[in-house]
Chains A and B, each alone.
Chain A
Amino acid sequence: MLPIFKDTQKCLLYLILFWAVVNHSYAQTDTANKSTATQTTENEDFSQYDNIEFAETGAKRYCSPKIEGISPQKLIGLGFDFQASHNMSLDSFNGNLASGDAHSYAINNASGIRFNCNIPVISKSSIVWQMGANYWETRYNRADQGLSLPFFPNPLANALLNNGLRTLGLNTTIFKPLNETNFILFQGSADLNGDYDWNLMPMKYLKYSAAVIYGKRPSERKQWGLGLSRTYRVGELNYIPIFMFNYTDAKNKWGSEILFPAKAHIRRTINPRNMIFAGYELEGQSYRLYRDNYLRNEDLEIRRGEIRLRLVYECSIKEFLWLSFQAGYRINYRYNVDRLENGNEILRAFGILSKEPYVMNNKLSNPLYFNISLNLVSP
């Protein structure tokens, strides 16, 4: 054997031996002194961490979009909405009814699926930006569907009972904290609402809603804010002030989740995975009557606004998968039909800016309703 081989072999062996010993002893020393268990047992003086500063000069602290105890934010949700039997009284329109009297239709139920998703695009302490999409539908099932009534004398009844109503939209939410207590919240959405089918309506019929809130988060358990919204929640376009108030009590048993006037709920927390809410939500949109040529040419939109008084139960059924069940009373606020003026909506502002009458004044009776959904919630 060559001497060089012997030396190299020795060297290699020493190297490997050294490496093994160092590595082994390092690991042993480390794990012998510290535990990886959830609860650490070392006697550490935690007071040394009380008065310490950022290593980086100019680093800032920001308030979080959430408060302690608030219900988890839903990332993806698929649900089913069901309104029990009720009556729909549709007004006459341009003499298109057999008589001038309203026509009443008994509706067995109005139901449909609801899909929502809300995915974080940017999620940092200094800004949170989320994008979402939603699809909602309402299908009207007439009580005498089995009878041979292929055509209803009322064109609106034809459109509703044959086509139903749909909403397909995109939305965005931006939370911008200014410092440890102040923030700005912006929400915007663009929705295509109407009686269209898989052939979507042109994008020129999109309805835009938005809200901006300036808020404060004075503690871990309270945040409030004031703002302005452009909304269709009562059926027609309005610009209204809004007030946000989210609160959790010290015991984390009671709280509120309020975005007035859009929705307001009192929250009872059984535990962080089981919550009950009592309150209401305003729901509504302007729906373009598009599929029927006659209605389309008349430039008509349904102004649908309703109040949902309800109890909601939300619980985690498996880790991040939550079930939401709501039941209550759907109170009709408005279901009128409006004609656009030169393609523009009439801004009535509850009769303050315009007293222009609606083309049709319709009425819905108020049924019980329920909604059940499965949701994936956010960390």
Chain B
Amino acid sequence: MKNSLLALLLVAFTTLTSFVYQDTEGNRLIGVWESGNGRARVKVEKIGSKYYGKIVWLKEPIDPVTKQPKTDKNNPDQALQNIPLKGYRNLKDFVYAGKNEWNEGTIYDPLNGSTYSCTIKMKDKNTLEIRGYIGVSALGRTDIWKRLEVKPKS
């Protein structure tokens, strides 16, 4: 009995440590990233147990027609077309799966109003491979995002 309880304690401790470790590993995704074409910057944060990203900067933030900040005008849902792109959550529901990979998420492309399945791979601490795809991963496109260094305002 004594040995069983010790074993149980050990398992509980190992599991807890593993969860904490997984959490720490997964949190490496948190930060501000720039898309490959330099057109947008996305801030990734953790909400609950999942990771989300929102647009925090646009290279061309003003709509050339309305002269107002850009909105999600290409969204097929008309009710969402007036939502400002700055602050828009374009990455949703990512879960850390281990081995530097986050999956089960989606990415939204405001240029055409489409949402794609998406996986994120961290190539190194400052580089992400973002793969948006349709159905199967082979039918997709990968973009390389780079981490940005946000310095606190003095």
Q: Which residues of A contact B (CB under 8 A)?
A: 2, 4-5, 8-9, 11-12, 15-16, 19, 27, 30-31, 34-40, 42, 44, 46, 48-50, 52-56, 59, 61-64, 68-69, 72, 75-76, 119-120, 123-126, 180, 220, 250-251, 271-273, 319-320, 376, 378-379
Tell me how far the C-beta of B58 lies from the nearest C-beta in chain A, rounded to whole angstroms. 9
Assess whether B149 is in contact with A52, with CB atoms less than 8 Å apart: yes
Given contacts A272-B74, A272-B112, 12 further A-B contacts (CB under 8 A): A8-B2, A16-B12, A30-B46, A31-B47, A35-B47, A39-B89, A52-B150, A61-B38, A124-B144, A272-B111, A273-B112, A319-B134
Assess whether B149 is in contact with A55, with CB atoms less than 8 Å apart: yes
Which residue in chain A gives the minimum CB-CB distance to B50?
Answer: A36
Which residue in chain B gives the minimum CB-CB distance to A43?
Answer: B87
Assess whether B60 is in contact with A36, with CB atoms less than 8 Å apart: no
- In the complex, which of the residues A4, A9, A119 contacts B138, with contact meaning CB atoms closer than 8 Å? A119
What is the 8 Å Cβ interface bit string for chain B, positions 1-42, against chain A (1 contact, 0 not)? 110011011001100100000000000000010101111010
Chain A: interface secondary structure? loop
B89: A residues at CB distance < 8 A: 36-40
Tell me how far the C-beta of B139 lies from the nearest C-beta in chain A, rounded to whole angstroms. 6
Knowing A31-B47, A36-B50, A378-B141 are in contact, say whether A49-B57 is a contact too (CB < 8 A): yes
A40: B residues at CB distance < 8 A: 54, 87-89
Indicate the size class of the contact surface on chain B.
35 or more
Tell me how far the C-beta of A44 lies from the nearest C-beta in chain B, rounded to whole angstroms. 7
Assess whether A30 is in contact with B153, with CB atoms less than 8 Å apart: no
Tell me how far the C-beta of B27 lies from the nearest C-beta in chain A, rounded to whole angstroms. 12
Assess whether A53 is in contact with B54, with CB atoms less than 8 Å apart: no
Knowing A40-B54, A44-B56, A61-B38 are in contact, say whether A124-B8 is a contact too (CB < 8 A): no
Assess whether A15 is in contact with B83, with CB atoms less than 8 Å apart: no
What is the 8 Å Cβ interface bit string for chain B, positions 124-154, against chain A (1 contact, 0 not)? 0111010111100011111110111111010
